[in-house]
Amino acid sequence: MPVKTYIDAINDALDYEMERDPSVFLIGEDIGSFGGAFKATKGLYQKFGKDRVIDTPIAEAGIVGVAIGASFFGYRPVAEMQFSDFITNAFNQLVTIAATTAYRWNMSVPIVVRCPSGAGISGGPFHSRNPEVWFAHQPGLKVVCPGTPEDAKGLLISAIRDNSPVLYFEHKRLYRSLKSEVPDGEYTVPIGKAKVAREGDDLSIITYGGTLPLATEVAEEFSSKGKANIEVIDIRSLAPLDEEAILLSVRKTNRALILHEDNLTAGFGAELSALITEKAFEFLDAPVKRLASFDSPVPFAPSLEREVLPSKKMLRRTVEELLDY
């Protein structure tokens, strides 16, 4: 299998689905001849033309609104938010219209909204948000957060083929920092199915997206030093959520640490903590712990940004607290 970066895996998925299905088209800001702000759509305008790779004004509500309307006529649009932060401008279209259409009209809305998200690139408070939990809260929407190149391809193809509106959060820091083998051609990953990224029996780290590499790296450190054998669960999909995989892991290891980059208060880690407390309490040998970003807008200055985000040092300390409890 070829080795691809995270961003190239996204491009590969878009290319494959556009080639396979003429109803798939792309819509967003600067995605045409420019190839997108991060080059996720590089080469697709030249291959498929302006009618299937559509440049738009800076108008997120319009982009998503057009995508919803086109889906009513048999198309499968993939809309790009240049930065996930600006999805706030399309919030009404997504939670009021797209999420409820199946309930109101018994009509599918097969759209994907790609959301470059996350911090760690000194993007400041307007370009660093992780807003996935807003949409996981809304019935009718699906939310996926791939943390590896192979999942970036597999989940995107599955999202495009899904008949529900899917929010696809791709972490910007992973774009070119991750490389792995990615299958050519047909490759899907089921939405709603978690993955055991690393097996262990002393503690479960439950994570997704941009913090998956951090979790696996720290877990390997503890293993190499003979301190603990840590299991890492990559939930991959927030809505629907693979509760069974999470509970199975916690019931085995008896300790749970939830890690995500979104800020702590009312983040998705709170939902995971409630799930574990309600359904696996009698298996716990220690309180459920959460590690997330500080409750603050993400600073622009790199030194301040590092203080806000979860770090190796913070994760090591939290793991040790749980193991010593």
Separation of alpha carbons 86 and 73, rounded Å: 26
Q: Report, as residue numbers or ranges, the catalytic residues.
A: 127
Who contacts 143 (Cβ-Cβ below 8 Å, separation ≥6)? 132, 135, 136, 166, 167, 169, 237, 238, 239
**Cis amide bond preceding 240, omega within 30:** yes
Tokens, residue 245: 């995989």
Q: Give me the amino acid identity at 83.
A: F
Who contacts 304 (Cβ-Cβ below 8 Å, separation ≥6)? none
**Burial classification of residue 93, based on how many CB atoms lie within 10 Å of its CB (0-12 exposed, 13-18 middle, 19 or more buried):** buried
Q: Give me the amino acid identity at 159.
A: A
Vertex 161 angle, CA 159 and 164, to 5°: 65
The number of C-alpha atoms within 13 Å of 240 and in the hemisphere containing its C-beta is 10
